[in-house]
Amino acid sequence: MSEALLTWVVFLPLASVVGLALLHGSLVAFGLSRGLPDVLWRWLALAATVVTFGMSVALAAGYDATDTAFQFVAHRPWLPRWGIHYFVGLDGVGLAMLLLTTFLVPLVLIGSWTGYSRRKGYLMHVLVLETGALGAFASLNLFQFYVFFEALLVPMVFLIGVFGGPLRVRAAIKFFLFTLAGSVLFLVALLVLAVLQQQQFGGVNFDLVAVSGIPLPPILETRVPTVQAPWWQQQTWLFAACALAFAVKIPLVPLHTWLPDAHVEAPTGGSVLLAGVLLKLGAFGFVRVALPLFPVAAQQFAPVLAVVALVGILYGALLAMVQSDLKKLVAYTSISHLGFVVLGLFALNVEGLQGGILQMVNHGLSTGALFLLVGMIAERRDTREIAAFGGVAKPMPVFALFLVLITMSSIGVPMLNGFVGEFLVLLGAFERSAAVGAAATVGVVLAAIVMLSMLRRVLFGPVENPENRGLIDLDRRERAVLVAFVIPIVWIGVHPATLLRRVEPSILELLRVMDVRARASAAESEASASESSGSEAPEADGSSATVPGAAGQRARWLAAATAPAGRPEPAR
Amino acid sequence: MIPAPVLELRAVLPLGVLALGAIAVLVLDLVMLDRSRLFGRSVTRAFVGTLLSLTSAVFLIVVLVLGVQNLVHGSTAVFNVANPLVQLDPLANFGVLLVAGGTLLVCLMSVAYLAELDINHGEYYALLLLSASGMVLLVSATDLLSLFLGLEVTAIPAYVLAGFDRGRRRGNEAALKYFLLGSFASAILLYGMALLYGATGATTLEAIRQAEVASSPLALAGMGLVLVGFAFKVSSVPFHQWVPDVYEGAPASVGGFFATTVKAAAFVALLRLLAVALGEGASWVAPMLAVLAALSMIVGNTMALIQQNPKRLLGYAAIGHAGYLLLGFVAATPEAYAAVLFYLTAYLFMTLGAFAVLVALANRGHDLERIGDLAGLAKKRPALAGALTLFAISLAGIPPTAGFLAKFQLFAAVVGAGHVGLVILAVGTSVLSAFYYLRLPVLMVMREPEGPPPRLHLASGEWLVVGVCALAVVTLGLLPNGLGVDSPSLLPPALDWSRDAITALLASR
């Protein structure tokens, strides 16, 4: 049962879209009616996402936090000759992202219940996007990960380009080209990895973890040379290619220029999904792919990425300060927050990684809620100019309450979620380098200045603009959505262990794997350095790149393959 | 006394069926139009067109079934063992499937289209079948003579088809251009073959390999000229000048025929030529092909960016795809050759699908001449717009479509052969291509409709072709090897077939 449950969670949104479309199409084709009424579309789509969320809660309840292995694993051959399998499973990190995604999507649908949720195309794209994101978060096969990672671009482009603002087409194309350009180099890195594995083991297996019954080691066991190989086979370049793909998605400065455009033009729901789900894929890609595969290069690049993240934190906050458009302001603080995420990840210690992952969830919740709030007020006034508001707290006290609360969560006030995440990230950063940590702390202060002055300008002071007097406060639907956001925000702030307890073992395991593999690479490069100290530089021919020790490893795997096959048992 | 040669007719059965089909269609057309009656009833021209299309379809389906049977059994038939001109091996059968499948789809989507353009003449189907029979000869030729014969039998009906819309000047220009440049290329090819024969004393590909081309400058020059001729046929830069003009001037259905079927046959023939006649000792050819591939990818994809005519855009896109396909020949490993075959299959469905949508959009006797006319199509014809979006996504190589898997397989093989620089160039130009492919859905979905409304009624043939292509693009992207891994498969295992074809080819030489 547990084996199929994760697959159900991933594919239920897509299946319901296909089912609804078929039902609609057959109703039209047989002339029974003019198709499924829009109301029914809306409710059925919502029901599907709520069921998906319910099932992912069931997954979380069934998750064994003491087990470091991947859980709810399902493994089926897809294109076995190329080592491509349908392979899903969850660790703590994947679980956190899965929960965040399934939590956000129903809220997005309810949030635009009277707006775009009335349109079939909107519902279809949101649900297809959900399957794409969930598939990427649950993938344990590198090829499958790439397929989901790329495929969800398409619904997002349509969400922005069809349902967005006046410059939506330009924003959609920019978003598409940036992310595509980043990810094709990831594809090349993937192919080079396959070639390396072919050389070392005589076959390709894109699985990230071992499964009994598969004669080849997972791609994670491939030795990626650090020296003594053509440049394109070296960790540095492969890591750089992956990092570029993920950095565009996150996005890191200076690859961020698509983000403000996309956020400003996207409809509210699209913005929530973009911030809450899509941007997470980049950071998740680092955790799932780039760190374990290229540990040596990750260590080398860590200072660079930490500095880039730092620049993003400060630059994002500074740019947010001068924005006159509310949504743009939130978009730039988003860049700042994701800088914290990357800073945490590339502290490469337990605290930093925990903080980074927690911050991913936090950003999804608080920025998602902020975008919804901005959408709610923009809907009422048809403008997002900060200057057009002022004193909104008087006509809309409930709105003001929520905006203050979410802002507090976003700038990291204790007892709310943001504090725990930022604290852990800073702890991890200080452990690596006090200077970086200190500079990042400035970013915290800047973010507070930005957000608090935004609050002052929008909510407080006298009501100068007469149009603001007649503003109607949030209705029951809007309140319900925001309450749903506030619950996890407070929960994580008060009791972060609920999440961290499940994430920590996976992080320790990740660090252990990185350490083991980095040591092996170091030993190898030492051995090959002493071996070839008298000889020429490495040959350009790829076949000479077989690393010493690969033959032994291959024999070990062949022995393992002949062992009796049973239920797939993942072990990293 | 000369002993009578032992002929195996099985080897030329597909060829014979298609040639017979061409004649049957011609005769049928003549009989019916002459009398305007069939079994005592008067017939309209539209009815005749439908009947001829279905007749051609029957012949093509027979050939398809033959090809599938041969592929399943993995059989090889040599026409004349003493003088092997034609050999129906798995590679040839794969080529036959591509040719017959592509031609079948073109036949089916043409019925209403020809009527719309008011060029509903029966010769159309006869010319298609005749050209297809040339292509079958081309993919199964193991001798320079039959190779050249195949190329010419393919090309001459194609010249006529390019100008099939006689009343239009663009069409005449396309036909003339195609004919002049095509004959020129054929002459170069023939000269190269003559040099090869002079240097090696043989015309069979097998014998040419044994004579070791690289050892003689004359043979090298001959091979170089043959490759130039083929570069023209597969529309590679710098021999690509005719492509955009011909695709633009020819009717859309004929453009689809050129872009997919004719090109697939030429690539299969090139594959056999390079793999058999050159063998392993052909390191000198790789840099030359690499230059052609790189130029095609860059020029094709860059020029496509600025096109306003959809057929012209697809023409430049086809040049870019020829560049990707040539990468496989640079790598020249069995995996790369198999990847080329799979790419051709995927490319056939997605390009033909795109052309079929253009065919379905032809209105008031004219093809869609401006990309801008696609604006707002999603509102007026959502299914058609959705299909074109799918084909565009697949052509750009975005998962989970056939185009992505084909590119993945091809690039993996090329990286495996060590040509990383070329693959980086290829993925870079893919991003460039995504820009112009994305314009189509952007226009259809995100812009408001303008200009005259599209045709209201789509013919069933057009629906069928668009549907089949869309289904194939998704299926080849998700389940390229059919259903079930070891069990008998419900869908054709395209991947296995492409691999088996190459294995058999390399084992036989």
Cα(B186)–Cα(A311) distance, integer angstroms: 61
Q: Rounded to whole angstroms, how far apart are CA atoms A121 and B144?
A: 55
CB contact under 8 A, B408 and A187: yes
**Domain extents in chain B:** 9-482+490-508
Is A559 part of any domain?
no
pLDDT tens string B154-183: 999 999 999 998 888 888 999 999 999 999
Which of A572, A432, A450 shows the shortest CA–CA distance to A513? A572
pLDDT of residue B489: 53
Q: Is residue A233 part of a domain?
A: no
b/e per residue A46-64 (b: at least 16 CB within 10 A): bebbebbbebbeebbeebe
User: Which of A79, A157, A198 minimises the CB distance to B416?
Assistant: A198
The rounded radius of gyration (Å) of the Cα atoms in chain A is 24
Nearest to B294 by CA among B317, B269, B319: B319
Q: Do B445 and A162 touch (CB under 8 A)?
A: yes
Closest residue in chain B to residue A168, using alpha carbons only: B446
> For residues A515 and A224, which has the higher predicted lDDT (pLDDT)?
A515
Exposure string over A453-475, b if 16+ CB within 10 A, otherwise e: ebbebbbeeebeeeebeebeebe
Distance CA B170, CA A232 (A): 48
Which 8-state DSSP code applies to residue B1?
-
Q: Is residue A92 part of a domain?
A: no
In chain B, residues with a C-beta closer than 8 Å to the C-beta of A80 are 485
Residues of B in contact with A232 (CB under 8 A): 420
CB contact under 8 A, B446 and A173: no
ipTM for this model? 0.90
C-beta atoms surrounding A569 within 10 Å: 15
Residue A439 lies in a domain: yes
Domain count, chain A: 1
User: Lowest-confidence range among A169-178, A539-548, B370-379, B488-497?
Assistant: A539-548
- At A294 the pLDDT is 92
pLDDT band (50, 70, 90) for residue A572: very low
pLDDT tens sequence across B192-244: 999 999 988 888 888 888 887 767 888 889 989 999 999 999 999 888 989 99
Taking each helix axis as running N to C, give the angle between helix A168-201 and helix A550-562, from 0 to 180 degrees, rounded to the nearest 10.
Answer: 90
- Hey, how many other C-beta atoms are within 10 angstroms of the C-beta on A166? 9
Range of the domain at A363: 294-520
Nearest to residue B368, comparing CAs of B316, B317, B309? B309
Is residue A18 within 8 angstroms of chain B, CB to CB? no
Separation in Å, CA of A484 to nearest CA in chain B: 33
Q: What is the pLDDT of residues A34-63, one digit of tens each?
A: 778 888 889 999 999 999 999 999 999 999
Q: How far apart are CA A143 and CA A151, in angstroms?
A: 12
CB contact under 8 A, B418 and A154: no
Q: What is the mean pLDDT of chain A?
A: 87
pLDDT of residue B39: 66
User: What are the pLDDT digits (tens) for A113-124?
Assistant: 888 777 888 999
Residue B78: strand, helix, or coil: strand
pLDDT value of residue B491: 67
Residue A223 domain flag: no
Which residue, A222, A253, A319, is CA-closest to A517?
Answer: A222
Answer whether A181 sits within 8 Å of B415, measured CB to CB: no
Q: Is residue A533 a part of any domain in this protein?
A: no
At residue B248's C-alpha, the angle toward residues B406 and B57, to 5°, is 65
Counting other chains too, the contacts that A465-469 makes at CB distance below 8 Å and 24 or more residues apart are A465/A388, A465/A389, A465/A390, A467/A381, A467/A388, A468/A381, A468/A388, A468/A389, A468/A390, A468/A391, A468/A392, A468/A395, A469/A394, A469/A395
Query: What's the mean pLDDT when you consider all of chain B?
Result: 88
Cα–Cα distance for residue pair B476/B482, rounded to 1 Å: 8
Paired with B38 in beta bridges are: B41
pLDDT at A83 over 90: no
Q: Is A527 helix (H, G, I), strand (E, B) or coil?
A: helix
User: Under an 8 A CB cutoff, do A184 and B430 touch?
Assistant: yes
